Amino acid sequence: MKKVIIISTSLRTGSNSDLLANQFIEGAKAAGHEVEKISLAEKDIKFCKGCLACQKLGKCVIKDDANDIMQKVLNADVVCWATPIYYYEMSGQMKILIDRMNALYSLDYKFRDVYMLTTAAEDEPEVPKRAEAGLTGWIDCYPKSHLAGTLFCGGVDAPRTIEGNQKLQEAYELGKSV
């Protein structure tokens, strides 16, 4: 059994990326894994100040929800990010959290497999590539981990327009394969 953390970065109720994340979760649970979902919609996460105190302390000096999330990521076997694509990139709140995870560099992180689920109004296959490259930049800082899988669903803009889409089943299967 693996410990799986899913970080849903959309702030919109009924978001398509969140619904994709829910299916990934159901698949991982069906495979017998311990799963926790973290929704950034409910979190207070401030910008990184670049002070690098975290490198000495092993945690961030800013008092918000980022340290709790970092602890969960640190101890997870699998991390799955779910994000809407905005301007061909990951959501701003996802990038802010990634920047805040600087404290993990000096710690003995457990995660090995990282997944990315993305949705967008546009449906061309190249739409998620910049977001994937951004996440890969973060993953490259953790040599024991790798991008284990991605799933993109385009052509979904308004909340819940993903309902009935085949990509939901693919997200379930991806979660089950963890």
pLDDT in tens, 94-117: 999 999 999 898 899 999 999 999
Q: Which two tokens stand for residue 127?
A: 């739409």
Residue 160 CA to residue 17 CA, distance in Å, equals 9
Is it the case that residue 139 has pLDDT exceeding 90? Answer: yes
Rounded Cα distance between 11 and 85, Å, is: 12
Q: What is the pLDDT of residues 5-14, one digit of tens each?
A: 999 999 998 8
Q: Helix/strand/coil (H, E, C) string of the chain?
A: CCEEEEEECCCCCCCHHHHHHHHHHHHHHHCCCEEEEEEHHHCCCCCCCCCCHHHHHCCCCCCCCHHHHHHHHHCCCEEEEEEECECCECCHHHHHHHHHHHHHHHCCCCCCEEEEEEECCCCCCCCCHHHHHHHHHHHCCCCCCEEEEEEEECCCCCCCCCCCCHHHHHHHHHHHCC
Q: What is the pTM of this model?
A: 0.96
Select from 144, 63, 134, 54 the least CA-distant residue to 101: 54
pLDDT score of 83:
99
The CATH number of the domain holding residue 98 is: 3.40.50.360
- Tens of pLDDT, residues 53-102: 999 999 999 999 999 999 999 999 999 999 999 999 999 999 999 999 99
Domain count, the chain: 1
Q: What is the pLDDT of residue 106?
A: 85
pLDDT tier, 39 (very low <50, low <70, confident <90, very high otherwise):
very high
What's the CA gap between 76 and 20, in Å, rounded? 20
Question: Would you state the pLDDT for residue 132?
Answer: 98
- Domain membership of residue 99 as a residue range: 3-176
